[in-house]
Amino acid sequence: MDKKLKEKISALDPKFKEKIEELFGTMKESISILYEAAIRDEKTGMYNSKFFETILDMEVEKVKRGQEKLSLFIIDIDFFKKINDKYGHLKADELLIRLAKVLIKQFRKSDIISRFGGEEFFILLPETDLKKAKKISSRLRTAIKSDKMLKKHDVTISGGLAEFRKRDTKKTFKQRADKALYKAKNKGRDRFISIE
């Protein structure tokens, strides 16, 4: 609430003032709930693709202006259609949500983890070079293989990694990570591949 508005409200009758302040509190809470709903994937609670794209634009601009590093993971659940067919959509959704929780635990709060479609995830790692991203991918695979529920249902992931280069655009950056993902799938899945 700005200063002038506060002054006007403070001049009101105390009971009316209380009601106005309560109304502003409710509005603020509602706006916060609406904002979260607008930027989050409903099923997993991860960021949605629209929010990811907005943050990617900002992070790319930061990297172009300075010396910061930026890496990107594109992750896909291996054979998710078979999981759906074998266990049904409800169980597949449950596994998707479980995987999302495992993913979220492995990253920093500053990393942007988003769901991009059915079983695909984009993870943006600010201030992270490719060497560090490779270590994170190894830790991530271990966490997934250690999770009892995911292990029981043979859930594995494939991923592509890329580090932003000076001549990159947002599009070429994503294309390299995507190309790496398809290489990982073609080499037998259940692995991460990077394109230098």
Catalytic sites, residue numbers: 119
Q: How far apart are CA 133 and CA 3, in angstroms?
A: 46
Please provide residue 48's backbone torsions phi and psi, each rounded to the nearest 5 degrees.
-90, 170
Alpha-carbon gap, residue 163 to 132, rounded angstroms? 10
Note whether 160 and 179 are within 8 A (CB).
yes
Query: What is the distance between the alpha carbons of residues 183 and 82, in angstroms, rounded to a whole number?
Result: 20
Beta bridge partners of 123: 73, 113
Which structure tokens are listed for 174? 């994503």
Ramachandran class of 21: left when φ > 0, alpha when ψ lies in -120 to 50, beta otherwise: alpha
Maximum distance among all alpha carbons in the chain? 73
* Tokens standing for residue 97: 């949500």
Rounded Cα distance, 162 and 145, in Å:
23
